[in-house]
Structure 1
Amino acid sequence: MLGLDDKQIKELSHWNHDGVTNIFVWIKKESQKCPHCSKSTVSTNGTQTVKLNHAAFNDRPCIIHFKKYRYVCTDCGITFMLPNPISSRKSRISNNSIRQVMKLAKDPRMTFKLIADQVNISSTAVMNTFFSNAKVPVGELPSVLCIDEVYLGRKSKKKYAVVLLNFETNEVVDLIYGRSVEDCIRGLDHYTRDKRNKVKYVSTDMYSGFFKLSKTFFPKATICVDSFHVIKLIIDSYQKLLIKIMKKHDTESKEYYLLKNYRHILLKNNGNVEWFKRKYNHKLGYYISNTKIKELLFEIDKDIQLCYELKESYISFNRLKDSTHLEEKLNILITDFNNSSYDGYQRIAKTLSKNKEYILNSFIRIRKRRISNGPIESRNAVIKMIIKTSGGYRNFDNLRIRALYVLNAK
């Protein structure tokens, strides 16, 4: 437990007092080299006892009373103490406690207060221990770089941070405070031009600032629009249509009821809905399947069915693995969206047309994996969990260190 050899120990005892386990350790006197003149000596001038907070022992707080000799060199007269094998120099926390802190800190659900309760030291000591021992060097820029943003919460002066991720290894390269082009340039400025030119692909959403950043900082990279964000844009637009139609009907009507309670089945991907299982509906007064509910929803307004089919057409296009005639198929979809009577889909058509090159680039595969921001979304969820469990971070540098430590922990 203490990492000491039995031969080193002169005396070892323990006792319990007020719910605290106390361990007394006295190190034997042995011949030691003087750090000043390198002569050996066994002469001593008293002892020193230090108290060290130790990780909980048998679910009890634990204190180690560590006693060692003060040596005197018979040649030069210098007095010296041996290094403490249980803790670092000038530290009042045992090495085992430090290891426990660093291990527990890998869990994003653990706050510094919870760690302090388990390790039997103060929250301040946990924070000081963590930030002095966490090694989070800035990663190298990868050949395939994913860029996304994450919300930092209300306590943060800047509401968003930019997350940089290595698509091939799923490791987070860095977090940048703020999402403006100026913020990103400051965060990336330490990378040389040669390192930036090694980035071959950049995957991002359709935020214009990320496009500008990619073109400026990674001029040799191919820009890819993340497919998830395109589909989300279409689904969000479709939901606005459904809500708009719902509000045209009386709140007591069947149409309002169906759109309010069942529009979610139209927003899901067709393959993710259980269509044929029948359930009793108390409002309608009979057993009904999701297939029949979809038919009833389509009867409310013709745009509901037409826009649903367009949404599903784009999802089917997005799933294509054969890259043959991709541009031709996308052009047909853009035309269909533009010809829709729903103005929201007409705006979607303009967005698809404007970003057509980047959308087609997203079908590129690296080691049989299509380039996307999929891996970065799960990392964003971890960052949000760290922020939520801690109640928010006012100091972004501390959040960055904790997040990188958790996300890239091995």
Structure 2
Amino acid sequence: MSLTSQSIRNALEIKDPNITFIEDSHIQVIKGKESLVYPASLTYKPDHCANCGFADKIVKYGTQKVRIIAPSAGFRPAYILLKRQRYRCEACLTTFSAHSPYVWQNCQISQPVRQMILSEAMTNISLKDIARRYFVSDKTVQRIVDAEAKQHHNYQTQWLPPHMAFDEFKSTDKMSFIWCDSTSHTLGEILALRTSRTLKEYFESFPIEVRQAVNTISVDLNAGYVNLIPKLFPNAEIVIDRFHIIQMVNRAVNQIRVQTMKTLDHRSKKYKFMKQEWKQFLRPMEKLEKVNPRYHSSVGYYQTDYNLVMECLDLDDHFQIAYDTDQGLLKSLQNHDTSGFEKELRAYHQLDNAMDTPIASLKKHRKAVLNAVESPYSNGFLEGMISRIKKIKNTAYGYRNWRHFIDRIKLELAWYQTKDIATAA
């Protein structure tokens, strides 16, 4: 075999010795595009007939030309014009064609191209972009993803991690349920609906012994989850996600800030500071600059962040109390101080403003909230995973088929990452 022939075989990722090149490559217009074509043949002596098993009555029976999509090193498509040998068995009078691991039977896409398409599908790229890059249709890319997904659809019901996280996200036109392992931060499963009936049917498929081994479940303040978990997981402690706690009280402080701001003259410096630098009221107090003044364009002079915030808090007593409560709860969460957090809840009295609602919710779910203060587990990683899911959806301009969407999510976030983790371990 010449060096040139071997170089072409390496470039096209051909390892099957039964495929040989019979002519030089040439440029040919295929489907309206100038394409690089490699004429080749596939032939060998069959071991036996696939139908009857006899080997001594097989004769050659012409050839069949097929056009195989090959890896392209340039801007134009590359094809292998393959003469596939056909055979006839004189014993059973059946015919069959030569086959190669380089391309599946009844398929026109080579295995290297299939692997490159699948590798691209593991990143956040639209199917049409992948199809354009490898000179196939977007439906072909979807079929390759579907074929890979069939190898991973093993819904086991014999094991659950000791620490879990629950949440939901909008999939197609409905809200879907997702759970993950809080320790390894790996995806567990995605269900089409988040209804109590759907969750009950799914988790009851696990033996009670498996569900009893679950120690903690991190959730947001979704009443459906909070009420359902004790029925499905008798020994699990409910942990309210710390991010949602902070988000609730911060949103309340922000609403009170807006209400206070609206009582001021729109031309006043305090109004401009509260409007333009609203994030200062949500920062931890210890991170506010107290010593070195800096220029604030909102007020037009040099002042410390701390002094400006305090001047605005003095405008309304209820604003001051809500701010102090927010800061106390935030500090207790950061320090995992359950007694300090509980003290802040007990010390709070109704203000008839936006802070009343989140405090009432925290008091109602007091035990689960205190678990969140001392527990190292939260839904932060799950929120990040849902953010990635939203990007997958945005890149595709939305999905109409729920199964296609879920397969793409698992392809990018679960199946191959899980293998990598297992290999590294």
Give the structure-2-normalised TM-score.
0.85
- C-alpha separation between the residues in 2 aligned to 1:363 and 1:284? 38
Question: Are residues 1:406 and 2:412 paired?
Answer: yes
Matched, 1:117 2:123: no
Is 1:51 paired with 2:67? yes
**What's the secondary structure of 1:251's corresponding residue?**
coil
Residues 283 and 205 of structure 1: CA distance in aligned 2, closer, same or farther (over 3 Å): closer
Greater shift, 343-352 or 4-13, is seen at 4-13
2:167 matched residue in structure 1: 148
* Deviation of 1:242 (Å): 0.5
Matches within 5 A, 1:15-54: 15-17=26-28, 18-30=33-45, 32-35=47-50, 36-40=52-56, 43-54=59-70
Residues 241 and 379, structure 2, Cα contact 8 Å, conserved in 1: yes
Q: Which has the higher contact order (CA 8 A, sep 6+)?
A: 1
On the 8 A contact 1:32/1:41 being kept in 2, the answer is no
Supply the distance in 2 between the matched residues of 1:375 and 1:126 (Cα, whole angstroms): 30
What SS does the corresponding residue of 1:379 show, helix, strand or coil? helix
Q: RMSD of the alignment, in Å?
A: 2.5
**Distance in 2 between the 1:75 and 1:272 partners?**
87
Which stretches in structure 2 are left out of the alignment for 5+ residues? 1-11, 418-425
Moved more, 375-384 or 40-49: 40-49
Query: Is 1:88 equivalent to 2:99 in the alignment?
Result: no
Following superposition, the deviation at residue 146 of structure 1 comes to 0.3
- 1:305 is matched with 320
Percent identity over paired residues:
20
The match for 1:396 among 395, 399, 402 is 402
Distance 1:263 1:42, change over 3 A: same
Partner of 2:344: 333
Conserved 8 A contact 1:25-1:65: yes
- Whether the 8 Å CA contact 2:67–2:108 is kept in 1: the answer is yes
TM-aligned CA deviation for residue 202 of structure 1: 1.0
The within-5 A match list for 1:4-403 is 4-6=15-17, 8-9=19-20, 11=22, 13-17=24-28, 18-30=33-45, 32-35=47-50, 36-40=52-56, 43-73=59-89, 75-108=91-124, 110-134=125-149, 135-138=152-155, 140-152=159-171, 156-158=172-174, 160-270=175-285, 278-321=293-336, 326=338, 328-337=339-348, 339=349, 341=351, 343-363=353-373, 370-403=376-409
* Residue identity opposite 1:66 in structure 2: L
Shift of 1:277: 5.9
Secondary structure in 1 aligned to 2:263? coil
Contact 1:106 1:405 in 2 (8 A): yes
Partner secondary structure for residue 402 of structure 1? helix
Shift of 1:309: 2.2
Deviation of 1:112 (Å): 0.8
- State how far apart, in whole Å, the 2-side matches of 1:178 and 1:251 are: 47
How far apart are 1:402 and its partner, in Å?
A: 1.2
Is 301-310 or 90-99 further displaced after alignment?
A: 301-310
Q: Does structure 1 conserve the Cα–Cα contact (< 8 Å) formed by 2:46 and 2:55?
A: no
| Structure 2: distance between partners of 1:252 and 1:307 | 25
Distance 1:87 1:8 in 2: 11
1:406 alignment partner, SS class: helix
Change (3 A) 1:317 1:67: same
Instruction: Give unpaired runs (5+ residues) of structure 1.
Output: none
Question: What is the DSSP-based 3-state SS (H/G/I as helix, E as strand, rest coil) of the residue aligned with 1:47?
Answer: strand
Cα deviation 1:37-87 (Å, max 9, x = unaligned): 242567311111111223433232222222221123355544321223222
